[in-house]
Amino acid sequence: MQQALESGGAPAGSLILVACSGGPDSLALASVAAHSARSGRYRVGAVVVDHGLHPDSAAVSAQTATTLTELGLEPVSVRAVTVNQTGMGPEAAARTARFEVLDAAAAELGAAAVLLGHTLDDQAEQVLLGLARGSGTRSLAGMPAQRGRYLRPFLGLRREETVEICRFEGLEPWHDPSNSDPSFARSRVRTQVLPYLEDQLGPGVARALYRTSRILAQDADYLDRVSVESFEQLHMIDGKDILLPEDALRALPPSLRQRVLALAAVRLGGEQPSFERIRATETLLERRGSAGPVQLGGFISVHRQVRGKSVPQGDPSYGSLVFRNNRALS
């Protein structure tokens, strides 16, 4: 735990918050973190997020807060959220609401880090879901051990180990019924798919998937860093548009080119484009059909620069792809 906090940049004496649902993973994490509080190395508090998705959620949150206070965590804050499922599934909506309230709590309380209780099993499930969706390297890398102030110190721990920690500490965790609800894809992976794979292929499947995520995380980090460097070298600004020279894009390996194209959309305020939209953008470089525009989701479009359009160097040219945020221009 201390190593995770130190590598995450949390200075000694700072406030650390545990995001706790009352389940075995986050309750075990709170218990371990409480030892850091008792050693005086860090101040440790907690945030309990009440999603309001089941009838007993308020009572569960209140009981969890009481347990955390008895463990010696201070402050312990219960935050109720409204899960807005407009435009997204229930899991994504709950995650969005949860991180919004955790961000707000961390800023309000001046926390140096927020601890999340995801385990090796969660990571294995994440990789399997990514494989099922046909995702790329970054998605298959799973959840990072650190993203900003968020730390996941239990990523190398099995879920059964967190249950054992709770048993050893005399804690009674709450078991969320949605974790076994077959209407959720993650629940089916947890209760049916992974157990089946472990039964058929051996008990090491979850650890193998976790190991795969760690290998791919290193690859994804490297490719992301190189793609940012390439984007910074290549892109030009023309008013509110981003221009990328076609010849330079063609010269890039596909793995970098696709990331550079996606970066242009993200820099303009768009979301990460799908692989299919990026491939459609790449067809503009072939100059065999339409000059676009290709819609990259949201209000971001990309087209080939037409002959006679001035580029920042001042000479008429048509050698760039133009990325535009059409909402910003409306």
Residues annotated within the binding site for ATP are: 21-26
The sign one gets for the Cα dihedral 152, 154, 156, 158 is negative
Residue 141 CB neighbours (<10 A)? 23
User: One-letter amino acid identity for 326?
Assistant: N
Q: Which two tokens stand for residue 234?
A: 């290549």
User: One-letter amino acid identity for 284?
Assistant: L
Edge-to-edge strand order for the sheet containing 15-19?
76-80, 43-50, 15-19, 113-115, 150-151, 146-147
**How far apart are alpha carbons 83 and 86 in whole angstroms?**
9
**How far apart are alpha carbons 325 and 235 in whole angstroms?**
15
**How far apart are alpha carbons 212 and 218 in whole angstroms?**
10
Binding site as annotated, residues: 21-26
**How far apart are alpha carbons 205 and 33 in whole angstroms?**
29
Contacting residues for 76 by C-beta, under 8 A, at least 6 apart? 45, 46, 47, 48, 65, 68, 69
Q: Which two tokens stand for residue 88?
A: 């997204």
**How far apart are alpha carbons 16 and 5 in whole angstroms?**
9
DSSP secondary structure letter of residue 180: G
Residue 170 CB neighbours (<10 A)? 7
CA distances from 23 to 6, 29, 229, 263 (A): 26, 10, 42, 37
Q: Is 324 helix (H, G, I), strand (E, B) or coil?
A: strand
Using alpha carbons only, how large is the chain's radius of gyration in Å? Answer: 23
Q: Which two tokens stand for residue 298?
A: 């949201």
